[in-house]
Amino acid sequence: MATEITGSVDEKDGALTIKGEDGAELRYVKESDLLAVKGSRDTIEKTAKEAEAALVTASTETAGKVEAERQKVLLAEAKVSTLEEQIKAGGASATELAQAKQDLVTAKSSGEELGNKFLELRRSVVVATYNIPVATVASKSLAELDVFEEALKAVIGSKGVGNYAIGGGGGGASDLVGKSPMELAQIAYSEK
Protein backbone atom coordinates (compact mmCIF):
# COMPACT_ATOMS: atom_id res chain seq x y z
CA MET A 1 0.00 0.00 0.00
CA ALA A 2 1.48 3.34 -1.04
CA THR A 3 1.51 6.31 1.32
CA GLU A 4 0.25 9.51 -0.21
CA ILE A 5 2.61 12.41 0.38
CA THR A 6 1.70 15.96 -0.35
CA GLY A 7 4.16 18.80 -0.41
CA SER A 8 3.97 22.52 -0.03
CA VAL A 9 6.63 25.20 -0.21
CA ASP A 10 6.89 27.82 2.46
CA GLU A 11 7.73 30.83 0.28
CA LYS A 12 8.74 32.91 3.28
CA ASP A 13 12.06 31.18 3.98
CA GLY A 14 12.39 28.73 1.10
CA ALA A 15 11.75 25.62 3.16
CA LEU A 16 10.05 22.57 1.63
CA THR A 17 7.36 21.16 3.90
CA ILE A 18 6.11 17.65 3.13
CA LYS A 19 2.97 16.47 4.85
CA GLY A 20 2.02 12.75 5.09
CA GLU A 21 -1.43 11.22 5.48
CA ASP A 22 -0.93 11.03 9.23
CA GLY A 23 -0.54 14.82 9.32
CA ALA A 24 3.13 14.78 10.33
CA GLU A 25 5.23 17.48 8.68
CA LEU A 26 8.83 17.18 7.57
CA ARG A 27 10.73 20.34 6.63
CA TYR A 28 13.66 20.52 4.27
CA VAL A 29 15.91 23.53 3.85
CA LYS A 30 18.79 23.99 1.49
CA GLU A 31 22.13 22.77 2.74
CA SER A 32 23.67 26.08 1.71
CA ASP A 33 21.25 27.83 4.09
CA LEU A 34 22.27 25.55 6.95
CA LEU A 35 25.96 26.05 6.20
CA ALA A 36 25.46 29.82 6.08
CA VAL A 37 23.88 29.77 9.54
CA LYS A 38 26.69 27.61 10.87
CA GLY A 39 29.29 29.91 9.31
CA SER A 40 27.63 32.95 10.85
CA ARG A 41 27.62 31.27 14.24
CA ASP A 42 31.30 30.37 13.95
CA THR A 43 32.08 33.97 13.05
CA ILE A 44 30.13 35.29 16.06
CA GLU A 45 31.86 32.83 18.40
CA LYS A 46 35.27 33.82 17.02
CA THR A 47 34.45 37.52 17.47
CA ALA A 48 33.29 36.89 21.04
CA LYS A 49 36.52 35.01 21.85
CA GLU A 50 38.61 37.81 20.35
CA ALA A 51 36.68 40.41 22.35
CA GLU A 52 37.17 38.40 25.54
CA ALA A 53 40.91 38.07 24.86
CA ALA A 54 41.13 41.82 24.22
CA LEU A 55 39.26 42.47 27.46
CA VAL A 56 41.66 40.29 29.43
CA THR A 57 44.68 41.99 27.85
CA ALA A 58 43.28 45.48 28.35
CA SER A 59 42.19 44.66 31.90
CA THR A 60 45.65 43.39 32.79
CA GLU A 61 47.39 46.43 31.30
CA THR A 62 44.95 48.89 32.82
CA ALA A 63 44.99 47.19 36.21
CA GLY A 64 48.79 47.53 36.25
CA LYS A 65 48.57 51.22 35.35
CA VAL A 66 45.86 51.84 37.94
CA GLU A 67 47.93 50.09 40.61
CA ALA A 68 51.01 52.15 39.67
CA GLU A 69 48.96 55.35 39.92
CA ARG A 70 47.55 54.20 43.26
CA GLN A 71 51.09 53.69 44.54
CA LYS A 72 51.99 57.21 43.37
CA VAL A 73 48.97 58.57 45.24
CA LEU A 74 50.00 56.73 48.40
CA LEU A 75 53.58 57.99 48.12
CA ALA A 76 52.38 61.54 47.48
CA GLU A 77 50.04 61.39 50.49
CA ALA A 78 52.86 60.10 52.65
CA LYS A 79 55.17 62.86 51.41
CA VAL A 80 52.51 65.51 52.08
CA SER A 81 52.01 64.17 55.60
CA THR A 82 55.75 64.17 56.23
CA LEU A 83 56.16 67.68 54.89
CA GLU A 84 53.22 68.98 56.90
CA GLU A 85 54.81 67.53 60.04
CA GLN A 86 58.15 69.09 59.08
CA ILE A 87 56.50 72.48 58.51
CA LYS A 88 54.91 72.22 61.93
CA ALA A 89 58.36 71.48 63.29
CA GLY A 90 59.84 74.18 61.01
CA GLY A 91 61.95 71.81 58.88
CA ALA A 92 60.54 71.88 55.34
CA SER A 93 59.87 74.72 52.99
CA ALA A 94 56.47 75.81 51.75
CA THR A 95 57.53 75.22 48.12
CA GLU A 96 58.23 71.55 48.85
CA LEU A 97 54.81 71.24 50.42
CA ALA A 98 53.15 72.97 47.45
CA GLN A 99 55.02 70.70 45.02
CA ALA A 100 53.98 67.59 46.99
CA LYS A 101 50.34 68.74 47.00
CA GLN A 102 50.52 69.36 43.23
CA ASP A 103 51.97 65.84 42.73
CA LEU A 104 49.11 64.43 44.79
CA VAL A 105 46.48 66.27 42.72
CA THR A 106 48.15 65.12 39.47
CA ALA A 107 48.35 61.51 40.63
CA LYS A 108 44.69 61.51 41.72
CA SER A 109 43.45 63.01 38.44
CA SER A 110 45.59 60.60 36.43
CA GLY A 111 44.21 57.67 38.42
CA GLU A 112 40.64 58.86 37.88
CA GLU A 113 41.27 59.29 34.14
CA LEU A 114 42.69 55.77 33.82
CA GLY A 115 39.79 54.37 35.86
CA ASN A 116 37.29 56.10 33.55
CA LYS A 117 39.09 54.80 30.44
CA PHE A 118 39.01 51.28 31.86
CA LEU A 119 35.29 51.59 32.61
CA GLU A 120 34.57 52.79 29.06
CA LEU A 121 36.64 49.93 27.66
CA ARG A 122 34.64 47.41 29.71
CA ARG A 123 31.38 48.96 28.54
CA SER A 124 32.50 48.75 24.91
CA VAL A 125 33.52 45.11 25.28
CA VAL A 126 30.18 44.17 26.88
CA VAL A 127 28.26 45.99 24.13
CA ALA A 128 30.32 44.32 21.38
CA THR A 129 30.31 40.85 22.94
CA TYR A 130 26.62 40.59 23.80
CA ASN A 131 25.26 42.90 21.07
CA ILE A 132 23.27 45.09 23.46
CA PRO A 133 22.46 48.80 23.13
CA VAL A 134 25.07 51.22 24.48
CA ALA A 135 22.42 53.00 26.56
CA THR A 136 21.96 49.81 28.61
CA VAL A 137 25.45 50.02 30.10
CA ALA A 138 26.14 53.76 29.80
CA SER A 139 25.35 54.58 33.43
CA LYS A 140 26.66 51.41 35.09
CA SER A 141 29.65 51.52 37.44
CA LEU A 142 32.43 48.96 37.23
CA ALA A 143 30.88 46.79 39.95
CA GLU A 144 27.43 47.00 38.34
CA LEU A 145 28.97 46.18 34.96
CA ASP A 146 30.63 43.06 36.40
CA VAL A 147 27.30 41.87 37.81
CA PHE A 148 25.49 42.71 34.55
CA GLU A 149 28.04 40.79 32.46
CA GLU A 150 27.80 37.74 34.75
CA ALA A 151 24.01 37.87 34.39
CA LEU A 152 24.33 38.00 30.60
CA LYS A 153 26.67 35.00 30.66
CA ALA A 154 24.18 33.10 32.81
CA VAL A 155 21.22 33.95 30.58
CA ILE A 156 22.96 33.35 27.27
CA GLY A 157 25.07 30.42 28.51
CA SER A 158 25.99 28.01 25.76
CA LYS A 159 22.86 28.60 23.74
CA GLY A 160 23.61 28.88 20.08
CA VAL A 161 22.33 31.63 17.93
CA GLY A 162 18.98 30.76 16.37
CA ASN A 163 18.48 30.13 12.66
CA TYR A 164 18.49 33.33 10.62
CA ALA A 165 19.32 35.40 13.71
CA ILE A 166 22.60 36.58 12.26
CA GLY A 167 21.46 37.06 8.69
CA GLY A 168 22.43 33.65 7.40
CA GLY A 169 20.09 31.39 5.53
CA GLY A 170 18.42 33.93 3.29
CA GLY A 171 18.30 34.03 -0.49
CA GLY A 172 17.26 30.44 -1.16
CA ALA A 173 13.58 31.12 -1.74
CA SER A 174 14.09 32.79 -5.10
CA ASP A 175 15.58 29.56 -6.49
CA LEU A 176 12.42 27.67 -5.56
CA VAL A 177 9.83 29.99 -7.08
CA GLY A 178 7.78 28.46 -9.89
CA LYS A 179 8.86 24.85 -9.32
CA SER A 180 6.48 21.98 -8.80
CA PRO A 181 6.46 20.03 -5.54
CA MET A 182 8.12 17.09 -7.30
CA GLU A 183 10.96 19.30 -8.58
CA LEU A 184 11.37 20.77 -5.11
CA ALA A 185 11.60 17.32 -3.58
CA GLN A 186 14.20 16.30 -6.18
CA ILE A 187 16.25 19.41 -5.38
CA ALA A 188 16.03 18.70 -1.66
CA TYR A 189 17.15 15.10 -2.07
CA SER A 190 19.96 16.00 -4.50
CA GLU A 191 21.50 18.45 -2.02
CA LYS A 192 21.99 15.93 0.78
Buried-exposed string 140-171: b where 16+ CB fall within 10 A, e elsewhere: beeeebeebbeeeeeeeeeeeeebeebebbee
pLDDT of residue 22 exceeding 80, the answer is: no
13 and 47 in a single domain? The answer is no
Domain around 123: 43-156
Based on the fold, state whether residues 118 and 26 are members of the same structural domain: no
Name the residue among 35, 15, 13 with its Cα closest to residue 26.
15
Q: Same domain, yes or no, for 53 and 89? A: yes
**Count of beta carbons in the 10 Å neighbourhood of residue 13:** 14
The answer to whether the CB of 175 falls within 8 A of the CB of 15 is: no
Do strands 25-28 and 5-10 pair parallel, antiparallel, or not at all (unpaired)? Answer: unpaired
Judged against a pLDDT cut of 50, whether residue 161 lies above it is answered with: no
pLDDT digits (tens, 9 = 90+) for 51-108: 888 888 888 888 888 888 888 888 888 888 888 887 777 655 777 778 888 988 898 8
Question: How confident is the model at residue 167, as a pLDDT?
Answer: 40
Q: Which residue has the higher pLDDT, 167 or 180?
A: 180
C-alpha angle 96-101-104 in degrees, rounded to nearest 5: 125
Domain count, the chain: 2
Q: Rounded mean pLDDT of 112-125?
A: 88
Assessment of whether the complete model's pTM goes beyond 0.95: no
More confident residue, 86 or 132: 132
Distance CA 143, CA 147 (A): 6
Would you say residue 37 lies in a domain? no
